[in-house]
Amino acid sequence: MKAVIPAAGLGTRFLPATKEQPKEMLPVVGKPVIQYVVEEAVDAGVDDVLVVTGRGKRAIEDHFDRSAELEDLLERAGNTEKLRQVRQISELADVFYVRQGRPRGLGHAVLCAAPHTLDQPFFVMLGDVIVPDNNVLPRLQEIHEKYGASVIAVEPVEREYVSRYGVIAGREVEPGVWEVTDLVEKPPANEAPSNLAIFGRYLLTPKVMELLPHVEEGRGGEIQLTDALRDLLKHEEVYAVTMDSTGYDTGNILSWLEANVSLALETEEFGSQLRDSLERVLGGAVTESVEPRVE
Ligand code: UTP
């Protein structure tokens, strides 16, 4: 199975950090967001990844390429662990790139991948969404194999936040699996058909590539993937599965902060020190007070 990772958006919610820097390259506990996404794909057995990039996104291509100078330096310094880490990034998967000339919306970004995905089903993984448990793609695949249809990962969110997401309407056909009856992009809370928010992971059938060229600009003047999926409903069944794990939309500063804190707390390297720091900060102390001392 191939994966398409749209990463050509402007990241306006994260300005000024994203003025020249791709938001997909922002670090979460020392690793760029998009590396988590590619690793999640590889973990699910994907060996062919297509990243949709655009102007100002060169850092993404460089990140997944060899870095001869850096590797030489680490080799000479005998830093084998860092050398292994750096080499491993360029060996993760076959990563291909296509450019979206202008960020015309997620649907348009996915359409840019059509010459690569051809007549096969494919994953779409938003390049700024981290799903730490890596259990969503296998679940999408399982449901796709069972129903032979496109499958969307959804997460229940508080009603007040539904207007930030694409939301589905549906009928639960087995626990946590919904047959989708409608989709709405960023509905006002009182008009949302459910609180099941589309969360950045999809397994789509090739039919969607036939429909995308005919989708008109929707919310925000963009070509929305949600609108193409709505059209898809007229031709094929579409399913949604609820994710059991928390995902982080790191294009949103608060969610990026939360991703950093919660993932760092789980590491051996930073976990206990970060817990101490947070306790100090929450306790009102700005810095640890240490008495000056001269030996
Ligand atoms: P977002 O809607 O989060 O991206 O798209 P955005 O437009 O960059 O965000 P803001 O609102 O300005 O902050 C989710 C994913 O789809 C990609 C983005 O790069 C992101 O990884 N995307 C979005 C594209 O590839 N092309 C687009 O035209 C829009």
Residues forming beta bridges with residue 166, ordered by sequence position? 185
Q: What is the CA radius of gyration of the chain?
A: 21
Q: How far apart are CA 250 and CA 191, in angstroms?
A: 26
Handedness of CA 102, 107, 110, 112 (dihedral sign): negative
Residues forming beta bridges with residue 6, ordered by sequence position? 52
Residue 25: pLDDT band by 50, 70, 90 thresholds? very high
Q: Which CATH number belongs to the domain containing residue 103 in this structure?
A: 3.90.550.10
Co-location of 75 and 92 in the same domain: yes
Residue 134: pLDDT band by 50, 70, 90 thresholds? confident
User: Which residue's CA is minimally distant from atom 3 of ligand 1?
Assistant: 251
- Per-residue pLDDT of 183-227, as tens digits, reads 998 899 999 999 999 999 999 999 999 999 999 998 889 999 999
Q: How far apart are CA 268 and CA 75, in angstroms?
A: 26
| Centre of ligand 1 from the C-alpha of residue 272, in Å | 34
Co-location of 182 and 257 in the same domain: no
Co-location of 82 and 180 in the same domain: yes
pLDDT reported for residue 236: 97
Q: How far apart are CA 109 and CA 97, in angstroms?
A: 12
Co-location of 97 and 216 in the same domain: yes
- Per-residue pLDDT of 29-42, as tens digits, reads 999 999 999 999 99
Co-location of 239 and 268 in the same domain: no
Co-location of 270 and 236 in the same domain: no
- Per-residue pLDDT of 229-266, as tens digits, reads 999 999 999 999 998 878 999 999 999 999 999 999 99
Phi, psi at 124, each rounded to 5°: -115, 125
| Centre of ligand 1 from the C-alpha of residue 109, in Å | 9
pLDDT reported for residue 240: 98
Distances in Å between the alpha carbon of 202 and those of 10, 143, 153, 267?
21, 11, 6, 29
How far from chain centre, in Å, is Cα 69? 30
Whether the pLDDT of residue 286 is over 70: the answer is no
Residue 97: pLDDT band by 50, 70, 90 thresholds? very high
At CA 125, angle to CA 19 and CA 129, rounded to 5?
50
pLDDT reported for residue 285: 65
Co-location of 99 and 115 in the same domain: yes
Contacts of 50 (CB under 8 A, 6+ apart): 2, 3, 4, 5, 95, 96, 97, 98, 113, 116, 117
**Amino acid (one-letter) located at 123:** F
Co-location of 150 and 283 in the same domain: no
Co-location of 107 and 216 in the same domain: yes
Q: Ligand 1 test: best mutation among 40, 124, 128, 224, most atoms within 8 Å of CB?
A: 128
pLDDT reported for residue 291: 86
**What average pLDDT does the structure give for the chain?**
94
CB 127 within 8 A of CB 25: no
CA atoms within 13 A on the CB side of 153: 26
Q: How many domains does the chain have?
A: 2
Co-location of 239 and 288 in the same domain: no
Q: Of 80, 83, 103, 79, whose CA–CA distance to 91 is shortest?
A: 83
User: Which residue's CA is minimally distant from atom 18 of ligand 1?
Assistant: 9
Q: How far apart are CA 93 and CA 41, in angstroms?
A: 9
**117: number of Cβ within 10 Å:** 22
Q: Of 174, 167, 210, whose CA–CA distance to 189 is shortest?
A: 167
Structure token digits, residue 83:
């050398």
Which atom of ligand 1 is least distant from the CA of 108?
A: 28
Contacts of 279 (CB under 8 A, 6+ apart): none
Contacts of 272 (CB under 8 A, 6+ apart): none
Which has more confidence, 127 or 288? Answer: 127
CB 134 within 8 A of CB 40: yes
Co-location of 278 and 295 in the same domain: yes
How far from chain centre, in Å, is Cα 235? 27
Q: How far apart are CA 88 and CA 148, in angstroms?
A: 35
Co-location of 90 and 142 in the same domain: yes
Domain span at residue 270 reads 252-295
**Amino acid (one-letter) located at 54:** G
pLDDT reported for residue 293: 87
Residue 288: pLDDT band by 50, 70, 90 thresholds? low
Which atom of ligand 1 is least distant from the CA of 14?
A: 13
| Centre of ligand 1 from the C-alpha of residue 6, in Å | 7
Residue 137: pLDDT band by 50, 70, 90 thresholds? very high
- Per-residue pLDDT of 161-171, as tens digits, reads 899 899 999 99
| Centre of ligand 1 from the C-alpha of residue 285, in Å | 38
What is the CB < 6 Å shell around ligand 1?
6-13, 24, 52, 100, 103-106, 108-109, 126-128, 251
